[in-house]
Structure 1
Amino acid sequence: MSERIKVGISIGDVNGIGLEVIIKTLADSRVFDYCTPIVYGHTKVASFHRRSCEITELNFNVISNAAEAQHQKANMINCWEEDVKIDLGVANETGGKYAFLSLQKATDDLLAGHIDALVTAPINKDNIQSEQFDFPGHTEYLQQRDNAADSLMFLVSDTLRVGVVTGHIPVAKVPQAISVEKILSKLKLMNTSLQKDFWIRKPKIAVLGLNPHAGDNGLIGNEEQSVIIPAVEEARANDILAFGPYAADGFFANATYMQFDAVLAMYHDQGLIPFKTIAFESGVNFTAGLSFVRTSPDHGTAYDIAGKNQASEVSFREALFTAIHVVKHRRENLVLSEDPLKFTKLSRDRD
């Protein structure tokens, strides 16, 4: 339990703000008291970004593999040898190419057990596409690499947690993509994650409707009656405290979400717009349902401010500490399952 947590960090698009928020986070040496960070990128690219955000006190310890990582230092693994032309604020093939090389190497180490968690800086979902990366985003790529049957895009903060049934798909395809089975699968993943990753013993989960006013009893669509309500009822039969469906607009406007431990939205923008409005600075994207821990900040590449020293590192720092906390919670749950008496002593000592 005392082993220092190694957190791998992929740099995202080299032309975006990823390295800026990484550098600003690691420039605070207090971070090293909680984890050993390992950045997957290249020192020359990092130096370019370090100069643009006017940080001189941070020096990367260059290592060839994760086993060489040193505590109390920001470690860097060079994932390529060639020089890279940086075009800050420009979406181009270069940004996608090196974002993938960083992500691929970090994921390889994660799956091999060389690091304990992965924090991903933002990618451009368009320019990263290739024969090796044919996915809508990080979540789908990591689910495939983990051979997981399902996963949950789970946006979390201190005040709000929101998951989505459908992720990066066109809105026009959402009604056909939701089903009783899919909603139930997401509810099971959310419930398990809340218990195992966030230590909420009996989570209460709100489920949103698909249509305006949650369908108004079939007046504005029937997905609530035919799909969502049966899924909620089946979830409750499986000992999951699910409630709803709720009309999304009033649910957030009246702060009803504060009565629940998490919210399951039907599609991307239904969940992410209110989440980012309420918790943008502190929000974290967590992928639930995987065998490993992965988080990311809840913002994108922000090309418009790249290189201007304007990006806030708050969300990235929250993503880093969320990863650390989830790893600790999973370790402690493992101790609990193996030796309840030892866990009781551990909890007492920690308190």
Structure 2
Amino acid sequence: MNKKAENIIVGISVGDLNGIGSEVILKTFEDSRMLELCTPVIFANAKILSFVKKSFTSTVQFHGVDKLDQVIPGKVNVYNLWKEGVDINLGTNDEKIGQYAIKSFVAATKALKEGEVDVLVTAPINKYNIQSEDFKFPGHTDYLDQELEGDALMMMVHDDLRVGLLTDHVPLNEVSSYLTEELIRRKINTICKSLIQDFSIVRPKIAVLGLNPHCGDGGVIGKEEDLVLKPVLKKIFDEGTMVFGPFPADGFFGSGQYEKYDAVVATYHDQGLVPFKTLSFGKGVNYTAGLNKVRTSPDHGTAYDIAGKDMADYNSFKEAVYLAIDVFRSRNQYEEISKKPLKIKEKQL
């Protein structure tokens, strides 16, 4: 790949047009310094974004293109994915708008697969209104797992805080049935590999949280820790991966214990995301680890309640762009180092 930073093309799916996605995207690129780092390409329609732009204060200028080979480096590009007009009602849940969100996402993913963009940053969607006969996925991650090579894993990132999930969009009463040795091994391996190639951590240390209160209290409150987690984690550790736990989840973050590790693995969605969003102060990023391409997104939803009111905080989206660029660079560097033969000097006698 060997691209310079300023040539990195960031594909952006527009998300739910009735939400705050367009606002956080455009506000992110009001800072001209962002265009020194990358060239954004928004998969949507320039006329629609011009209309939405009137609902908030923005000075950003964008350039509409009808083909991806027309993208201008150093400019905010809008790829006109559709020509027809779309009824925008900011702050409302609309199935028709959901279909445009998916149209944008699917096209941006295709461009990512084919190398027309280098990384993908996705604006928030409504998981309910995107469902159709053609798209039956709970969200972005599940579709990307199907379309891209690898094993997708949700990892939340803010500075040195990284929280991965063993299970993500799974009902709470079904989590324990998912915690098999195969799943735990696969997810730990994905996280470890990502920390090495995506975050340039040579020997990562990974902490795993228990499922039950107090890690089951020796089986009194639950047996998953003793029967599954502890034996599997010991095997993985003995095989050379620096994995520790399981740790009781209730005091792990409040005590600052998480600072000792390069990543923390939660057994289920809210166990990891509640403390993460508390500590990340609105600047967290959702990173899809484990795939052969780079995808990030902000850690918030469509926020219908503030859409069109010029109140959206764009920092999480901006951090998502930064992280996509950083991971792209790290992977390139890792690939270059991996290709170089290891030279061992002969010991002089």
TM-score bracket, shorter-length normalisation: over 0.9
Residue equivalent to 1:291: 292
Please state whether the residue corresponding to 1:155 is helix, strand or coil.
Answer: strand
Contact 2:66 2:81 in 1 (8 A): no
Measure how far apart 1:105 and its partner are: 0.7
Residue equivalent to 1:89: 91
Residue equivalent to 1:69: 71
Measure how far apart 1:334 and its partner are: 1.4
Residue equivalent to 1:104: 106
Contact 2:207 2:243 in 1 (8 A): yes
Residue equivalent to 1:41: 44
Select the structure that is richer in helix.
Answer: 1
| Cα deviation 1:235-261 (Å, max 9, x = unaligned) | 213321000000111101111101111
Q: Report matched runs for 1:1-351 at 5 Å.
A: 1-3=2-4, 4-55=7-58, 57-148=59-150, 150-339=151-340
CA distance, structure 1, for counterparts of residue 155 and residue 67 of structure 2:
30
Contact 2:149 2:292 in 1 (8 A): no
Measure how far apart 1:160 and its partner are: 1.2
Structure 2 residues without counterparts, runs of 5 or longer:
343-349
The range that moved more, 40-49 or 219-228, is 40-49
Contact 1:152 1:163 in 2 (8 A): yes
Give RMSD over aligned pairs. 1.2
Please state whether the residue corresponding to 2:207 is helix, strand or coil.
Answer: strand
Measure how far apart 1:147 and its partner are: 4.5
CA distance, structure 2, for counterparts of residue 118 and residue 2 of structure 1:
16
CA distance, structure 1, for counterparts of residue 101 and residue 17 of structure 2:
7
CA distance, structure 1, for counterparts of residue 51 and residue 43 of structure 2:
15
Please state whether the residue corresponding to 2:250 is helix, strand or coil.
Answer: helix
| Cα deviation 1:112-158 (Å, max 9, x = unaligned) | 0111100000000110011221111111010011153x221000111
| Cα deviation 1:14-60 (Å, max 9, x = unaligned) | 100000000000111110100111000111221122111121x3221
Please state whether the residue corresponding to 2:41 is helix, strand or coil.
Answer: strand
TM-score, structure 2 normalization: 0.95
Residue type of the alignment partner of 1:307: G
% identical aligned pairs: 50
Residue equivalent to 1:347: none
Contact 1:89 1:306 in 2 (8 A): yes
Moved over 3 A (4+): none
Contact 1:184 1:234 in 2 (8 A): no
CA distance, structure 2, for counterparts of residue 69 and residue 126 of structure 1:
33
Contact 1:154 1:163 in 2 (8 A): yes
TM-score, structure 1 normalization: 0.94
Please state whether the residue corresponding to 2:54 is helix, strand or coil.
Answer: helix
Residue type of the alignment partner of 2:10: V
Return closer, same or farther for 1:21/1:153 CA change in 2, 3 Å cut-off.
same
Contact 1:154 1:288 in 2 (8 A): yes
Residue type of the alignment partner of 1:274: P
Please state whether the residue corresponding to 2:324 is helix, strand or coil.
Answer: helix
| Count, aligned residues | 339
Structure 1 residues without counterparts, runs of 5 or longer:
342-351
The range that moved more, 114-123 or 39-48, is 39-48
